[in-house]
Structure 1
Amino acid sequence: MTNIQGRAKSDRVTLHDVARAAGVSKSSVSRLLDERLPRSNSEVAQRVRKVAKELGYVRDISAANLRRGNTSMIGLIVPRLTDTVMAMLYEALQRAASKTGKVVIVATTDETPEAERRAADTLIGRGVESLILATARHDDPFTKELAERGVKYVQALRTDGIGLSSIGDDQLGGYLATRHLIDLGHRKIGLIAGPAFASTASKRTAGYHQAMQEARLPVDESWIVPSTFGIESGREAVKQLISLPDRPTAVFAVNDNIAIGAFAAIHQMGLSVPQDISLVGYNDIPIVSHLTTPMTSVHVPFDQIASAAFELLNADELSPQERTKISIPTLIPRQSTAPIKA
């Protein structure tokens, strides 16, 4: 028998390792360790289980479920469903899935990488065919880990720049939002930039810089405030901008929730939108058109992004250029933006 003690603990133990150590075939190990089958108490089965335990073998439920074939279930992982953007993505994916007789089941992570991994294992354990991830973070090896396990996945809305991705053109959207304010005569434009780990935030920030540079407008670093994607974060960020000695006359928030928080704080501080400060959000969630001052926002084509995500999942072979599908956003001007006062 192979020396079990000699194996490095950091190595992932495979069925092949157990088979070699137990002196049986890989197919025998797979059958004897499959908990869905009747438990055998033969001498061979007992030896296989003993070796598996000593080696620290953990059954890879992802590979097992992928071998079972079509289950008609797609797993979706999002930060939270209380975020309207993620709820809209889920509904769009559900509509796209229903056209092919599939159903989307969802798990949330609250933006925690560890929870994302647990969510993936839970969904795979339930037999999903593949995963759609709306939780991508820069420099996170999670998608690489999925690929190594043979798990089929696509990223939606956010991307790590490596795996299959269906996203909006966030840099263009950030450019359109900022360019709109510049065209209204604003020169001091603040940015509530969102979290740096999300491609949506970083690309929209890049669009802001692109528009400001194109217009040859200086950017004071104090005008750029990082935030989460939450309402309260927007509230605190805009207070910081308003308290500046030479405060911006307009603010672009890279997410509608952030913009809603900023909108509330501006009014609480005795100022008004757009008379004192013009405000632009992003995603065009339904509520922003029903605020007391309807908000200008960048509309994201969620249904296009959802359909493109399924196209990527169903594609057999893709060139590097085809691995990312980009949908085009549009600016929706409303009453929260106005020309700067002379």
Structure 2
Amino acid sequence: ELSVAVDDLLGGRLAAEHLAAAGHAEIAIISPDSSVSTGRDRVEGFRRRMLELGTKIDDSRIVPAGFDIASGQRAAETLLGWPKLPTAVFASNDLTAAGIMFRLREAGISIGRDVALVGYNDIEISKHLPVPLTTIASPLHEVGARSLDTLIEVIEGRVPDSLQLTPRLLARESTLAFVTLNT
């Protein structure tokens, strides 16, 4: 099957490495159910890397949510009902992370100090949130450009290879207080 995609397993691993380096072990994951491949791969990469680093993320620490702000707010409400708030949250997309941020801040939780928060995709709003969001940047423009190139190759009768593009971590204030305190 021909595809041009982002390596979401790697993206999850990058988020895990960042939070583990800051000393986090009490982590929640906010993600759509496993039928959504991008969310599934991000969570799988995150959990696998955390396990390699010595921390098992139990299924009970995964809160299902959609890809929007309202879903993030509902997920944050779930976290607020836990006996102990996690020290870090990995959200499988930035809009959900924004909703988490808004709701936790309403509850008096300091993002970046009380709870570290990582999103995914580096959408435009990420750097403009009340606390700029640490996120995994997906090269979405490159995905679009490479997809067009691939389509042209198919139309011209060539057999292009599938491509998997590399995401990168953008560390911002939503996690940096922890990195500073624990280094």
Q: Is the 8 A contact 1:230 1:258 kept in 2?
A: yes
Deviation of 1:295 after TM superposition, in Å, equals 0.8
Deviation of 1:317 after TM superposition, in Å, equals 3.8
**Mapped pair 1:172 → 2:10:** yes
| Aligned equivalents of 2:91, 2:58: Cα separation in 1 | 16
Identity of aligned residues (%): 37
Query: What is aligned with 2:159?
Result: 318
**Mapped pair 1:291 → 2:132:** no
Query: Where does structure 1 lack aligned partners over 5 or more consecutive residues?
Result: 1-162
Deviation of 1:221 after TM superposition, in Å, equals 2.0
Letter in 2 for 1:183: A
Aligned to 1:279, the other structure's residue is in SS state strand
| Aligned equivalents of 2:166, 2:58: Cα separation in 1 | 29
Aligned to 2:174, the other structure's residue is in SS state coil
Aligned length: 177
**Bigger CA drift: 193-202 or 268-277?**
193-202
| TM score, norm. by length of structure 2 | 0.90
List structure 1 runs of 4+ shifted beyond 3 angstroms: none
Highest RCO, 1 vs 2 (Cα 8 Å, sep ≥ 6): 2
Query: What is aligned with 2:107?
Result: 269
- Please tell me whether Structure 1 or Structure 2 has the larger radius of gyration of its CA atoms: 1
Letter in 2 for 1:270: G
Query: Where does structure 2 lack aligned partners over 5 or more consecutive residues?
Result: none
**Mapped pair 1:200 → 2:38:** yes
Query: What is aligned with 2:143?
Result: 305
**Mapped pair 1:229 → 2:67:** yes
Counterparts of residues 252-267 of structure 1 (less than 5 Å): 252-267=90-105
Query: What is aligned with 1:58?
Result: none
Query: What is aligned with 1:242?
Result: 80
Q: Is the 8 A contact 1:188 1:248 kept in 2?
A: yes
| Aligned equivalents of 1:220, 1:207: Cα separation in 2 | 14
Q: Is the 8 A contact 1:194 1:255 kept in 2?
A: no
Q: Is the 8 A contact 1:296 1:333 kept in 2?
A: yes
| TM score, norm. by length of structure 1 | 0.49
| Aligned equivalents of 1:220, 1:306: Cα separation in 2 | 35
**Mapped pair 1:339 → 2:158:** no
